[in-house]
Structure 1
């Protein structure tokens, strides 16, 4: 309240001293002050004061914004017109024209240009015009009206001197001497329409016109004949049912004569098609219309496991002069899933194959077709696949070591036998100079290898308290290995294998004695097994045996001696007294 009284006093003193006139509360047309109810109390306002304001919809400030500041000056409020009318580009409805400027909003008194499409002009005949944004909106809606330029005359001339013509304007023309219009007149008129001139102002040499086109047997023109046809006019022919048109179906007027007309050749009609493994769609309805003329087509479908020649389950069957096409509408299909191929596979990606289509298959490594190849083929026939593919086991010629084959074969089937013989001075593992191998599921039964007899070994050497894990042979081939094992409680020392090399065996292992803990020895030393009640106990070399004193006795040896270690059958007993 004090501020309000102070402002009023300031204004009164200013006026009394002859200073500038204050500004009353601004009445903003098409807008308002922000917080006007609150601010109204502070008016009139001194020069230099500014207030924010906003404009209503479709109005903007002189800066083009929807809000700005209004300033109190010595001449009153500025701007004097705070809110200016705006016009939207979207409000412009211009048929056959367009506004080329990119702005979408225009303020009061702003002008925008528009252009007419080719073949159209403004009311005053220009290709472009302008409209202005006024207080009530656009000054006018732009108009682009159809116009026609002066046409090109052929053997004729215009009877007026105009340059361009509005929609529905008429232009009269006359033919040169010896020429006439398509209707036989020497003068005519054309009208400017939406699509241009109604027709071209052309005149023709009367000697180059044609009369009606020639008739043909079993056929006629597709349009009503006229008395006169202009040069280069065309007429189309068609044949009656069950006749086929031969030659061009069009004739042309040239130099007063028609070109050669077509002929209508008699054709055999098509009876109702009996489609094996398929049917016409809606066949009961169509059956009434048969027989039909060549050129007719009908949709059909195939039964399950059959397809059309194009690979679809349906297609069109066509009546031709040679009958129905395709002649076999539905072809048998074969499925990849019906092929059972053991030890082989099909590498192609397709899953369905049509009649007479061939498919390749391959055998796994170590298998071949019945004729010895790594791959083969089967064909889709009317009753399914031509055969089930077979991949049988085979063995290639093996690698011979100190031996040679007794036959010249290259590939051997399952259970085939291959005989071989050793080179001089060599023999097989059984002491013979010839042998046989058999082709099995896992390959050859063994390798055809022969050995130098001087490099073989006899039975492996025996060891104490142990023996071999397999039955002994009389002869062992070079690099043969034999495994040893020890008796219970004996520890094997060294490699448990020996190898035959250059007629001798490698060093065999030893079987180390166990330690036997007896009740007699324990009683002598007044001790017993710790945590055990055994009267006799066997320990392997390297095992630790724990003892303890019997009840009422005390250790007479070191504590460590009560954890004795077995060393090759010998153990040192601790003693208690």
Structure 2
């Protein structure tokens, strides 16, 4: 190509740019292609969420500007009922249903077209199944045919049974929060007391009923040298009665020590037969076993143990891609037997092999893993 030809092309290119600049940008749209040489007719496209005012999207850049004037107007898709738009990337719109609702088809992406949303985003009410049936209990309030997010029902145990756990449960995320349990009482008969040579704390024998988690003191009766009271706890219908035997009356030395705990009184060098000491655990530690230890035949009865709490740190949660669901703390102490709930961090989903709600067991907690 001659030098004159190159010059002609450059002139045309420069004119094209000047012409395009004189016509200006298209609000909420763009011209395709951006530069041209010989043809003046051009096509324009509207940005996502907008549509051409007229069906014809062919325009011409003239000395007076675009002809016809291109206009991109918003598409009137309307609001998402019971939901909201959270993100828009090009043509794809991401929506989220409000609390208590879920996407009908499980899809949370849609596109705004001239005909409206496609597919149509529909948020339906989240529902729970019928509340769980609990043995030896009945629902006393909140019962109905259908249950939606936030509904609450209340349980009550039959007379004599003890409610363990919350008396009210809530419909949350199409399932119920953990239900309570009804614990059975303990029945100690007169015959059992006679067989074990036991007396009640008043020195008499009769059949008694002790509710779960309650304690009762027993005394050793006739033919026994040990006259100290035995406080025994009823645990869901089960109660281990003590056995009374004759003792030698030997004294005991200093009481045993327990890890992460101590006795509630000043330790002595010597204790007489039948003496007792009571133990307590450090803060956050849970005592397991009988709180008191007795001096019997020169030896102390078995002391309790202090079960350590679980320590939840930001470092541990970060390594499992989780956060606390109901709290925000750099470090959290959870007592043995207590439950704690976690949630996955942003844009992460829970591993199906783990639960969000886990229980602390003697300092160990099974963290859920989010990937």
Q: Do both proteins adopt the same fold according to a TM-score greater than 0.5, normalized to the shorter chain?
A: no
Larger Rg: 1
By relative contact order (CA 8 Å, sep 6+), the higher-ranking structure is 2
TM-score, normalising length: structure 1: 0.21
TM-score, normalising length: structure 2: 0.32
